[in-house]
């Protein structure tokens, strides 16, 4: 991202329609990705969000304050050229989904996981015809091959921008099911994030909150919520 290590030179950042979608213009100059590709986005809403991030820069450009721009760049420079590899990586989460590996004790945690996660597995089956099984402990067990094939098809049906968002929703939460629920708007993203943290919340209740762990958790939550927002910007 060497091109980003610069000071603001433009007066105005605007979104505009272009061939194939929408782009951002800096004083009329087309914005490009770090890989020098045209930054063409699927919706005006996304282009306007990127333009707002560039308009908000003061002095040196700070990429960490530009999450939508970074995700759009990733969709074009990273996900598009290796789409099949990224999709396969994310689809594989169905084989070891967080919601399917349950505690073998104590009884209260077992009950809490079941109350939080069973409804999501039921939703997955009812909505997509994919029933995933559960198991106590961390030992690997095989899921139904047909269910996994159905889930894989859903992942490969996404476009590169959608897959960029889905990659983070699944990777951060550890759950393909939670990621699919987020895409569908099945539950608010904050609630889905809380469901992905059942085990961590349990530990905090027992032993208290570790400051460093809490900061890491907050950063992950922000990443999850951003991924949800980015997916909505693709619609």
168-221 tens-digit pLDDT: 999 999 999 999 999 999 999 999 999 999 999 999 999 998 999 999 999 999
What percent of the chain has a predicted confidence (pLDDT) above 90? 95
- The Cβ of residue 228 has, within 10 Å, a number of other Cβ atoms equal to 22
Burial 202-215 (b: 16+ CB within 10 A, else e): beeeeeeeeeeeee
Say if residue 53's pLDDT is above 60: yes
Q: Checking DSSP bridges between strand 29-30 and strand 21-26, what pairing results, if any?
A: antiparallel
Q: What pLDDT, in 10s, does the model give residues 88-123?
A: 999 999 999 999 999 999 999 999 999 999 999 999
Where along the chain do the CATH 3.30.2180.10 domains lie? Answer: 2-62
Fold topology of 82-233: ATP12-like fold (1.10.3580)
- The Cβ of residue 69 has, within 10 Å, a number of other Cβ atoms equal to 23
pLDDT of residue 167: 98
- The Cβ of residue 105 has, within 10 Å, a number of other Cβ atoms equal to 8
Whole-number average pLDDT of the chain? 96
Integer Cα distance of 195 and 117 in angstroms: 7
In this prediction the pTM is 0.95
Omega prior to 106 cis, within 30 of 0: yes
pLDDT of residue 2: 40
pLDDT of residue 3: 45
Average pLDDT over residues 155-163: 98
Question: What tokens does 86 get?
Answer: 């990224």
Phi, psi angles (nearest 5°) of residue 185: 70, 30
Superfamily of domain 2-62: ATP12-like (3.30.2180.10)
Where along the chain do the CATH 1.10.3580.10 domains lie? Answer: 82-233
3-state secondary structure the chain: CHHHCCECCCCCEEEEEECCEEEEEECCEECECCCCCECCECCHHHHHHHHHHHHCCCCECCHHHCHHHHHHHHHHHHHHHHHHHHHHHHHHHHHHCHHHEECCCCHHHHHHHHHHHHHHHHHHHHHHCCCCCCEECCCCCCCCHHHHHHHHHHHHCCCHHHHHHHHHHHHHHCCHHHHHHHHHCCCCHHHHHHHHCHHHHHHHHHHCCCHHHHHHHHHHHHHHHHHHHHHHHCC
**pLDDT interval class at 42 (50, 70, 90):** very high
pLDDT of residue 4: 45
pLDDT of residue 7: 84
Q: Residue 10: is it exposed, middle or buried by C-beta count within 10 angstroms (0-12/13-18/19+)? A: middle
């Amino acid at each position: 991202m060497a091109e980003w290590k610069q000071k603001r030179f433009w007066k105005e950042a605007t979104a505009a329609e272009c061939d194939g979608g929408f782009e951002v213009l800096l004083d009329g100059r087309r914005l490009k990705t770090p890989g020098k590709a045209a930054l063409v986005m699927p919706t005006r809403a996304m282009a306007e969000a990127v333009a707002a991030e560039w308009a908000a820069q003061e002095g040196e450009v700070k990429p960490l304050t530009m999450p939508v721009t970074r995700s759009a760049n990733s969709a074009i420079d990273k996900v598009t050229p290796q789409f099949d590899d990224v999709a396969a990586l994310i689809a594989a989460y169905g084989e070891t989904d967080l919601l399917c590996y349950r505690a073998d004790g104590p009884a209260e945690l077992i009950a809490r996981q079941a109350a939080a996660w069973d409804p999501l597995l039921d939703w997955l089956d009812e909505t997509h015809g994919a029933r995933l099984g559960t198991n106590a402990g961390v030992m690997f067990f095989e899921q139904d091959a047909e269910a996994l094939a159905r889930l894989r098809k859903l992942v490969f049906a996404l476009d590169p921008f959608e897959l960029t968002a889905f990659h983070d929703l699944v990777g951060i939460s550890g759950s393909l099911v939670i990621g699919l629920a987020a895409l569908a708007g099945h539950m608010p993203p904050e609630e889905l994030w809380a469901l992905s943290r059942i085990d961590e919340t349990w530990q905090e209740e027992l032993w208290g909150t570790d400051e460093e762990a809490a900061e890491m958790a907050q950063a992950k939550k922000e990443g999850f919520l951003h991924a949800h927002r980015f997916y909505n910007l693709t619609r």
